Amino acid sequence: MINPHGSTTLNPLIVRDQQRCEQLVAEAQQLPELLLNSAAAANVVMLGAGYFNPLTGFMNLDDALSCAENMHTSDGLFWPVPIINLCATAAEIPSAGKVALRDPNVVGHPVIAIMDVDRVEPVSREQLEFMAVKIFATDDLEHPGVATFMSLGSQLVSGTIEVLNLSYFQSDFPDTFQTAYEIRAEIAQRGWEKVVAFQTRNPMHRAHEELCHMAMKRLDADGVIVHMLLGRLKPGDIPADVRNDCIRKMVEVYFPKNSVMVSGYGFDMLYAGPREAVLHAIFRQNMGATHLIVGRDHAGVGEYYGAFAAQDIFSESVPKGALEIEIFCADHTAYSKKLGRVVMMNEVDDHQKDDFILLSGTAVREMLAKGQLPPPEFSRPEVAQILMGYYQQ
């Protein structure tokens, strides 16, 4: 199986020994506390689940600035996005020693991790803006990722962590949420060697479905993992439970048995385009995928990134040998009225725009809200019915 990023074995930070976990929970009651923001809590979940291997906790300011500037930590580890814990105030946090990190996303704010604090550092507005521009390619506060990042606070708390639980993801999505080590175990159990990962934060329409089929066929892959984001999204995006229902129905009806794993991970979407695509590749390598589909405007939002910027970064900015996972580059896919099937648009030179069935997200939402099914060439009727029920509520 493919190696994890940065090591030969996966090292998730979740405490799996029950006795040790209970000891830490008891110890946490006597420690100073820090209520995390959702972004930092999502980082804890990803660290605990092994997706952010080989990191051992939250980066300090030097590492954060280095990652933002050149996609390497100060000691040379390739990493595209700072994994940091920003907060508004750190008055109660010791500059050294342990602190209990509390979960903002669960009622009662239970302790989610214990941090061995290495540093508490102020971050200037200029440093935050520098990181934002490098990560998101803009400092425009209309960008949802920038707006969130710039609002997190100006105190950076770094150090190693021991993760006690994985927040609400295991309880809310018991059949879908999986850790990186659980996915690795299932890949091994299935006997898969060549494994394609498909990233999604949306329900999968016909074009996404066919893209997975294309990648599997062209790569001669053993299977595909539809790996959906289960954390926070921007307003207007489809909730995770609805997405989950749509994807499972599509896989049940339109894929061969035992060819697809439907899985999910606990992270808040960054909308960071190219940089987030590289982060996606790292944690898909950590979960055992050998290939990642990167399509048009991967992890993008609005008009902030070029259509294929998330593909170009792998050839232009990712050093050779930095990643073992390979990228399957895809163009926009759509149903061709000429050919009667879904195609990659850049592979049919004799087509004009009117030869494809193309619908905007707004148009589809309006149709569903009115109880109208989109054309079957665009969306499978079984999927559209689930979405219609959501929009009509």
Active site residues per annotation? 201-202
- What span, in angstroms and rounded, lies between the C-alpha atoms of 329 and 214? 11
Type of residue at 243 = R
DSSP helix/strand/coil, 183: helix
Helix axes 309-316, 274-286, angle to 10 degrees: 70
E-state strands within the chain: 33-35, 57-58, 86-87, 97-102, 111-122, 155-163, 195-200, 223-229, 260-265, 291-294, 326-329, 333-336, 341-344, 356-357
Helix axes 61-70, 125-136, angle to 10 degrees: 40
b or e along 355-368 (b: 16 or more beta carbons within 10 Å of the residue's beta carbon)? bbbebeeeebbebb
HSE value, Cβ hemisphere, 13 Å, CA-based, for 266 = 27
The encoded tokens of residue 182 equal 């659980």
Contact at 8 Å (CB) between 95 and 153? no
* Cα separations in angstroms, 30 against 23, 24, 26, 161, 182: 12, 10, 8, 17, 33
- What span, in angstroms and rounded, lies between the C-alpha atoms of 284 and 197? 7
The encoded tokens of residue 302 equal 């609005």
Q: How many other C-beta atoms lie within 10 A of the C-beta of residue 142?
A: 10
E-state strands within 56-138: 57-58, 86-87, 97-102, 111-122
- What span, in angstroms and rounded, lies between the C-alpha atoms of 368 and 376? 13
